[in-house]
Structure 1
């Protein structure tokens, strides 16, 4: 019995390492090769090296997948392969797009799903994610210093870098969770370095992911589970006493505050698109998605019942998973997909058993619920498929234990 438990711990260590490395190695590689002058020319070589390292971690997990989830692994990869073959036969015009994303489909999306499905020790996963989030703080500081010294470098202008903020939002939320749960002041300080970069260089949607997590966490773990004792009521009243004047000032003089922040960022060479959109009352600007949606609806009208085939919209999709699925497979399957997503996300949110598992589900819910309706596509990405793996594992009632 002891040997079985120890073997399980070893197996879970491999699963956790694979998941964590799939998240953090890409972050560190991106920062190093985009923020050190001259290294960008070696970015393609770095991508190959990164792929080999990640493949090493994935291969170590394969025996675990074989022993614990072979049926799920076989059915899911069979479904994906059949889908691709049918598309190549019936919709040859989609062939080029399939060839462009097929490697990412199998190595990123599929492996993210099946490795996440095999996670049992959520507590250790959270601990390692937080540990590496603290290490990434040094990279955050390096980004700020390198930009001040060298300015905009690499393929991406740091005036607006959606990729960078997209990479940083998950560790940002994990470090924030550590601050909220442990009441750790240093974690809040570390979190500020993430927010500084996301707010000054990143996408407004990634700021929204963090806000979604905060709202869900406070509702689920503070307002619903905690009884407001006298001390908590007193602290709450004191905080309100200090916050209300500040909120009133922000509401009545928000243009001055935003102008100050924009000026502060510009002094150190940063140009925050999010703050400027706020100042111009354009925060809800769809940034061209309206034209994308018009084109998608034209595609849907060509064949509303059966669709135009998998990946018919090209590599970047529709910026909306429902429209994307309808364009690919027709209205009936699109509606069924929407119903499945609603049911899936609802079950993930109401899950209430093991806190460590709950937290992981909430974090990945927070970073996917908006992205599937706003960003290009989930095909060839990892976060949506991480949540799919964690969620299906939970809904199938597997591994209801904590370590």
Structure 2
């Protein structure tokens, strides 16, 4: 569509900024056609090369795209629901959801006292007792705890960080395969995902180096319990990644340690490597209660100020009643005993599943956490084959950017006594090509 918005500027930077302002305020909605390079150059009294340079910058940041003879147009708004999981068919065992086993979750949170009256907690958003527990939690694992804060969930925290640090079109290094909600979030914020390959030790240094040199502004990664692959940083991998990140001290590194207490492995965090800009986010939903929408974040001082400044302008604080509940569960011996039981059980279930799949010649990955990733050639064939045997697993498409196909199996809800039958059914779904499919 043609546009009446008047683009201004005398150099490439000013022209790009003018277009971006038009996009931001709605004067240039998605699909709006920008003037041809020579026409705009003539109108502004600049060289065609100057306009071409501004359009190139805008394309690189995802704000516009070129459609050949269709010219340059404003990019469409990102889709935000393209990776939603399908509904679990009735009568199937659900091994697709990534959920914890309810048997290891506390039956009910202890009663908490709710402050009376109508008043704001903006002046004291964090309960001192919970802040104290949070600092000790991080310090136990070697994460610097000088600056900590709270959010409503890991995704809430990451969204706030990205929105205050980056602009639409900026690039973010994302694990591939990676957590589908994070992939959706980056897209919804108008940012570009740069895929970074992972293995059993987490993101690969060579892939991260390529992303850093391509100009990413942020990196989001899981130091353990990587979802869906299950990778976890070793000390050697952590050191290699810190060396890569030293090339770009202004890049914000966000670690999502979402299953800290039930990962089954120790933490080797990038945050202990002297990074300039960093944050580590933790939640309790996987082992204290799926409805406990609370997250903790340790970070550098600049990141803290930017995060809390935006939080102050929006929700203001995390409910003190919720914080009291988290304190109660973190200090309740029975709840903490369940967490220890869960950690041991999930480790056993994951390893048993891997061993049973290996007995059938099926290679799989799951060094930590709740899930196992199985590379396959045809995701739909495997999902449908297992469905016919009564199992429901997650097709890998919604977790992938450029990685090869696979399926995710949530081992947390598969007792060892059933792992052998599941592995046999998996092999049957692969048929005669099981070794090729599983490799």
Q: TM-score, normalised by structure 2?
A: 0.30
Considering only CA atoms, is the larger Rg found in Structure 1 or Structure 2? 2
Q: TM-score, normalised by structure 1?
A: 0.32
Structure with higher strand content: 2
Larger RCO of the pair (alpha carbons < 8 Å, separation 6+): 1
Structure with higher helix content: 1
